[in-house]
């Protein structure tokens, strides 16, 4: 994995004295003339200042430029070099910017093994674990002679269960002596891990010094993770630097921790959750696991607040099911929950086996990432001629469904991921519905494989595919490509467009194949005699079809504009366009500037509309439709479709919709908001009035709403909002 540029680079031209003077800090003691007492005081002062600024820096709120920070740090380093007795383990010189250290990754033998957990892959396995626990405890109390009958579940109680998130990161053990962090190690093989103290010291969540009365020796265990927001920012930086993206937060966290240069780790912004007391010498005595966590939290260690204590297995089952449903609402990944017998005496009685404790189990969610074989990359042609590459996969069960195909979006995405037919690839299907190919498993790439090349010709019509400069999409440029002919007609007759009943995809296909139909104008001069002869048609069905096609001539202009498959013109833009120009002839005459002025349009949409109306095929189409008698002008305001005045309940409000609603299409919900005077931006910000969530909402929108305090409402509340303008 390529490493980013040196984190040390930054502006460093601010004179040190200006900073110290401006902040009213004592001038540094002259190195030669300073007494040890002066030096000691200055060292303490510098340590305090640097710790303060480094906390702000890692919290993303730096108060001073990097160069000022570096000057203070250099001053401290110089003083510490002169007076090594003043170097303290919690000095910032030991924490950030420590130079690469040859002793990193030295083996560390764990005093107590860092064990793994047994898994429960569904509720049945969770119940089976619970039963084993009950039996083991009952057997333990039955006495050595074993004269009693086989114990049953009811015979004994395990007391409460502690239930915590199972963080998907990297387990580490952190050792404090007299309250100061002295060593951190990875799990390794469970007995021996790697020394990652230098990296762990840079993790802002992990205190270098414990708060409160600390025991002489304390060893805690927990998980190093990367928050999703931090992960996304890291990948954005990787992309800026032309480096490869990390595949998931877990890998990125592992890569960040196992850095020789702690400055790189520091830059990554790792987080930590402490979930287990390893060993304490001279600490208070505890009865339960939960008490130990509370104590660890009181020492300043980050303990996850989602941990709960539950009385019986039914409550545990409800809890894990609830978190499984909500797992994508969080800013970090967890791949299940850990259920632990809370009572420490019972834990001791249950003990451990070779691999894991008997007193705990990991309830694992179905995996959202799996590997499978990429059989081939094919290209599908969309109704508007867009050529989209997609992966044909050996079917794999991931995220709760069997996935056999996954979109690869466009040529650049395939190149960026460098996935090739024959590769073993990681497939991900998480919160969102659409499965994604994350990337190849390079170690399993077959020898001699070549990067995939986009096909030159359309798989439907055989004509050349084209990619316009500056565009990511590849298109079949053949206006008469059968897929596009069908696509345009299918869209035109659709419910939200001209709403022509009795003409589904199958019959469109038949009519096109029989050369009864080649464009939407042809709908208005269909040869009904021939159709009546076709299998499945009779007098009644032909009359129905004829009538619904006749009816469509009276649809409002906004519907027609939407029906024409003009790129960028969905239902909402079509309404705005109709309302702004009033007639198709005015649009034909409008220049790009005038189009760009239309509310919500701008130069890109304007150019796309202009290009469409300038295409001779489309000019012919419009003239054909005009001749057929379709409405080419908007009705006066108040008529059907255009400009009807609804109460402006949402004036000044920004309402974002995410996920699938039952009563609205995506565009329909947006339209309903706009029609009532509101706006409906594509993303959540601090100015958003409400986030409406349907089924499968986007995780990032939810997170953003949660962090910005934007009310999140369901469909019923949305209906109410539309009517009244008020939130519940
Ligand atoms: S307790 C002796 N609690 O899961 C039991 N582990 O699959 C120690 N993990 O190696 C583990 N969250 O890295 C525990 N709340 C949690 C956890 C957790 C994540 C990890 C840990 C462990 C792995 C086992």
- Which of 362, 363, 364, 365 has the most ligand 1 atoms within 8 A of CB, as the residue to mutate? 362
> Residue 245 has what pLDDT?
79
pLDDT digits 0-9 by tens, 515-537: 999 999 999 999 999 999 999 99
Grade residue 636 by pLDDT with cuts at 50, 70 and 90: low
Q: In this structure, what DSSP letter does residue 292 have?
A: H
Model pLDDT, residue 680: 81
Non-local (6+) Cβ contacts of 608 within 8 A are: 566, 567, 568, 569
Q: How confident is the model over 217-242, as a mean pLDDT?
A: 94
CA 71 to chain centre: 38
Task: Tell me what pLDDT residue 64 has.
Answer: 63
Q: Tokens at residue 451, please?
A: 């990067």
Q: What is the pLDDT of residue 97?
A: 37
The answer for residues whose C-beta is within 8 angstroms of residue 641's C-beta and 6 or more apart is 555, 556, 557, 558, 559, 575, 578, 635
Summarize the confidence of residues 469-477 as an average pLDDT: 91
Ligand 1: centre distance to CA 202 (Å): 22
193 lines ligand 1 (CB under 6 A): no
The DSSP element (H or E) to which 340 belongs, if any, is strand 334-341
pLDDT band at 1 (very low <50, low <70, confident <90, very high): very low
More confident residue, 575 or 219: 219
Residue 4, pLDDT above cutoff 50: no
pLDDT tens digit string along 10-65? Answer: 322 222 222 333 333 333 334 344 457 788 899 988 988 888 776 655 444 445 65
Span between the terminal Cα atoms of the chain, in Å: 50
| Residue to mutate (ligand 1; options 275, 340, 355; most atoms within 8 A of CB) | 275
Q: How far is CA 697 from CA 320, 657, 666, 679, 704, in A?
A: 20, 9, 12, 19, 12
Distance of CA 638 to the CA centre of its chain: 44
**Residue range 681-703: average pLDDT?**
87
Name which residue sits closest to atom 2 of ligand 1, judged by CA.
115
Average pLDDT over residues 264-288: 94
Whole-number pLDDT of residue 239: 86
From the CB of 116, is ligand 1 less than 6 Å away?
Answer: yes
The answer, yes or no, to whether any atom of ligand 1 lies below 6 A from the CB of 357, is: yes
- Is pLDDT at 501 greater than 50 in this prediction? yes
- 166 counts as catalytic: yes
**Counting every residue, how long is the chain?**
728
Q: Name the catalytic one among 166, 417, 670, 701.
A: 166
Q: Containing H/E element for 337? A: strand 334-341
Residue 93 has pLDDT above 90, yes or no: no
Quick one: pLDDT at residue 98? 37
Per DSSP (E only), the strands in 43-168 are 107-109, 119-120, 161-167
Helix and strand totals (H; E) in the chain: 25, 21
Question: What does the pLDDT read at residue 7?
Answer: 31
pLDDT tens-place string over residues 706-722: 888 999 999 989 988 99
Q: Is 275 in the pocket of ligand 1 (CB under 6 A)?
A: yes
Q: How far, in Å, is the centroid of ligand 1 from the Cα of 267?
A: 26
Q: Name the average pLDDT for the chain.
A: 85
Q: For 384-394, write each residue's pLDDT tens digit.
A: 899 999 999 99
CA distance 255 to 272: 15
Residue 379 has pLDDT above 90, yes or no: yes
- Give the rounded percent of residues in the chain with a pLDDT score beyond 90: 57
Nearest Cα neighbor of 599 from 519, 677, 667 is: 677
What is the structure's pLDDT at 428?
87
In this structure, the residue with its CA closest to atom 3 of ligand 1 is 275
User: What's the pLDDT tens digit per position in 311-343?
Assistant: 999 999 999 999 998 988 899 999 999 999 999
Looking at residue 19, its pLDDT comes to 32
Q: How far apart are CA 572 and CA 563, in angstroms?
A: 12
Beta strands in 60-169 (DSSP E): 107-109, 119-120, 161-167
- Of all residues in the chain, the percent with pLDDT exceeding 70 is 88
Instruction: Enter the tokens of residue 174.
Output: 């952190």
362 C-beta closer than 6 A to ligand 1: yes
**For the residues 402-412, what does the mean pLDDT come to?**
92
Higher model confidence: residue 410 or residue 671? 410
Residue 276 in contact with ligand 1 by CB distance below 6 A: yes
Range scoring the smallest mean pLDDT among 197-206, 451-460, 513-522, 647-656: 647-656
Cα 336 to ligand 1 centroid, rounded to whole Å: 10
Query: pLDDT, tens digit, for every residue of 141-200?
Result: 644 444 455 555 555 789 999 999 999 899 999 999 999 999 999 998 888 899 999 999
Q: 719 and 673 in contact (C-beta within 8 Å)?
A: no
Considering only CA atoms, which residue is closest to atom 6 of ligand 1? 166
- Cα–ligand 1 centroid distance for 338 (angstroms): 7
Q: How confident is the model at residue 307 (pLDDT cuts 50, 70, 90)?
A: very high
Strands of 123-254 (E only): list them: 161-167, 170-177, 180-186, 192-194, 217-225
The confidence score (pLDDT) of residue 650 equals 87
- Using the predicted structure, report yes or no on whether residue 101 has a pLDDT greater than 60: no
Nearest to 693 by CA among 716, 675, 677: 716
Cα 134 from Cα 350, distance rounded (Å):
10
- Does ligand 1 come within 6 angstroms of the Cβ of 319? no
Note the helical H segments in 83-206.
123-141, 197-200
114 Cα nearest atom in ligand 1:
2
Tell me: pLDDT of 69 over 70: yes
pLDDT of residue 458 exceeding 90, the answer is yes
**Alpha-carbon span 152 to 136, nearest angstrom:** 10
Position 637 scores a pLDDT of 46
Token digits of residue 566: 């003009």
Q: Is 171 touching ligand 1 by the criterion CB < 6 Å? A: yes
Q: What is the pLDDT of residue 433?
A: 64
Q: What confidence score (pLDDT) does residue 259 get? A: 86
548 CB less than 6 Å from ligand 1? no
Three-state secondary structure along 649-672? CCCCCEEEEECECCCCCHHHHHHH
Structure tokens at 357: 């404790």
For residues 231 and 404, give the distance between their C-alpha atoms in angstroms, rounded to a whole number.
Answer: 28
Residue 271, SS3? strand
| Token pair belonging to 41 | 């005081």
**Residue, of 643 and 223, whose pLDDT is higher:** 223
**Ligand 1, pocket-test mutation among 169, 273, 319, 338, most atoms within 8 A of CB:** 338
pLDDT computed for residue 145 by the predictor: 47
Cβ contact 502:548 at 8 Å: yes
Q: How far does the centroid of ligand 1 lie from the alpha carbon of residue 166, in Å?
A: 6
Average pLDDT value for residue range 601-613: 93
Q: Does the C-beta of 71 come closer than 6 Å to ligand 1?
A: no
Structure confidence at residue 79 as a pLDDT band (50, 70, 90): very high
Gap from CA of 290 to ligand 1 centroid (Å): 15
Can you give the pLDDT at residue 72?
A: 83
Average pLDDT over residues 423-440: 83
* pLDDT, tens digit, 9 for 90 and up, residues 119-149: 998 999 999 999 999 999 998 764 444 445 5
Higher pLDDT, residue 505 or 53: 505
pLDDT value at position 455? 97
Question: How far is it, in rounded angstroms, from Cα 619 to Cα 625?
Answer: 10
**pLDDT at residue 66 in the model:** 57
Q: Which residue has the tokens 């010498």?
A: 281
Average pLDDT over residues 449-466: 96
pLDDT recorded at residue 181: 96
DSSP conformational letter for 174: E
Query: What one-character DSSP code corresponds to residue 482?
Result: H
């Amino acid at each position: 994995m390529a490493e980013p540029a040196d984190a040390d680079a930054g502006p460093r031209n601010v004179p040190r004295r200006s900073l110290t003077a401006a902040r009213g800090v004592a001038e540094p003691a002259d190195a030669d003339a300073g007494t040890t007492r002066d030096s000691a005081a200055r060292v303490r002062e510098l340590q305090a200042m640097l710790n303060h600024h480094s906390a702000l820096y890692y919290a993303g709120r730096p108060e001073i430029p990097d160069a000022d920070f570096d000057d203070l740090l250099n001053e401290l380093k110089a003083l510490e070099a002169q007076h090594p007795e003043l170097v303290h383990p919690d000095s910032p010189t030991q924490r950030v910017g420590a130079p690469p250290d040859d002793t990193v990754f030295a083996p560390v033998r764990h005093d107590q093994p860092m064990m793994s957990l047994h898994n429960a892959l569904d509720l049945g396995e969770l119940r089976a674990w619970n039963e084993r626990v009950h039996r083991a405890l009952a057997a333990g109390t039955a006495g050595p002679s074993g004269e009693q009958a086989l114990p049953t579940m009811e015979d004994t109680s395990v007391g409460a269960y502690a239930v915590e998130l199972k963080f998907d990161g990297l387990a580490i053990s952190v050792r404090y002596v007299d309250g100061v962090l002295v060593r951190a190690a990875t799990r390794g093989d469970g007995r021996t891990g790697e020394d990652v103290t230098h990296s762990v010291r840079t993790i802002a969540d992990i205190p270098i010094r414990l708060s409160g009365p600390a025991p002489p020796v304390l060893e805690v265990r927990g998980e190093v993770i990367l928050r999703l927001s931090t992960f996304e920012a890291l990948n954005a930086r990787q992309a800026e630097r032309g480096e490869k993206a990390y595949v998931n937060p877990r890998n990125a966290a592992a890569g960040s921790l196992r850095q020789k240069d702690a400055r790189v780790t520091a830059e990554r912004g790792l987080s930590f959750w402490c979930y287990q007391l390893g060993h304490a010498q001279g600490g208070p005595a505890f009865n339960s696991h939960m008490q130990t966590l509370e104590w660890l939290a009181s020492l300043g260690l980050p303990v996850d607040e989602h941990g709960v204590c539950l009385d019986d297995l039914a409550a545990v089952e409800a809890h894990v099911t609830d978190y499984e449903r909500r797992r994508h609402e969080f800013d970090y990944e967890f791949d299940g929950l850990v259920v632990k017998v809370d009572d420490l005496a019972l834990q001791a009685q249950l003990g451990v086996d070779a691999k894991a404790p008997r007193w705990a189990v990991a309830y694992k969610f179905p995996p959202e990432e799996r590997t499978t074989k990429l059989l081939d990359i094919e290209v599908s042609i969309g109704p508007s001629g867009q050529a989209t590459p997609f992966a044909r996969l050996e079917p794999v069960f991931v995220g709760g469904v069997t996935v056999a195909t996954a979109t690869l979006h466009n040529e650049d995405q395939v190149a960026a991921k460098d996935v090739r037919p024959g590769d073993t690839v990681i497939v991900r299907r998480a919160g969102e519905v659409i499965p994604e190919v994350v990337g190849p498993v390079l170690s399993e790439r077959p020898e001699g494989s070549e990067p995939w090349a986009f096909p030159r010709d359309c798989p439907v019509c055989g004509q050349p595919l084209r990619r316009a400069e500056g565009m990511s999409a590849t298109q079949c440029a053949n206006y008469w490509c059968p897929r596009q002919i069908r696509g345009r007609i299918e869209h035109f007759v659709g419910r939200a467009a001209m709403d022509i009943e009795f003409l589904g995809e199958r019959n469109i296909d038949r009519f096109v194949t029989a050369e009864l139909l080649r464009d939407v104008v042809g709908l208005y001069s269909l040869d009904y005699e021939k159709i009546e002869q076709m299998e499945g048609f009779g007098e009644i069905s032909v009359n129905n079809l004829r009538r619904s096609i006749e009816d469509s001539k009276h649809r409002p202009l906004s519907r027609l504009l939407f029906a024409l498959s003009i790129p960028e013109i969905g239902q909402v833009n079509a309404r705005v366009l109709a309302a702004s120009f009033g007639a198709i002839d005015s649009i034909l005459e409008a220049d790009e500037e005038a189009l760009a002025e239309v509310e919500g349009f701008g130069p890109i949409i304007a150019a796309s509309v202009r290009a469409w109306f300038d295409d001779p095929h489309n000019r012919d189409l419009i003239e054909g439709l005009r001749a057929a008698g379709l409405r080419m002008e908007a009705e006066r305001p108040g008529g059907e479709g255009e400009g009807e005045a609804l109460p402006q309940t949402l004036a000044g409000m920004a309402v974002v919709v995410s996920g699938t609603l039952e009563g609205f299409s995506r565009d329909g919900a947006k339209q309903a908001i706009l029609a009532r005077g509101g706006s409906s931006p594509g993303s959540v910000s601090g100015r958003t009035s409400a986030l409406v969530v349907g089924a499968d909402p986007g995780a990032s929108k939810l997170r953003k709403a949660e962090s910005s305090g934007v009310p999140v409402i369901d469909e019923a509340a949305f209906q109410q909002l539309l009517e009244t303008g008020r939130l519940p």
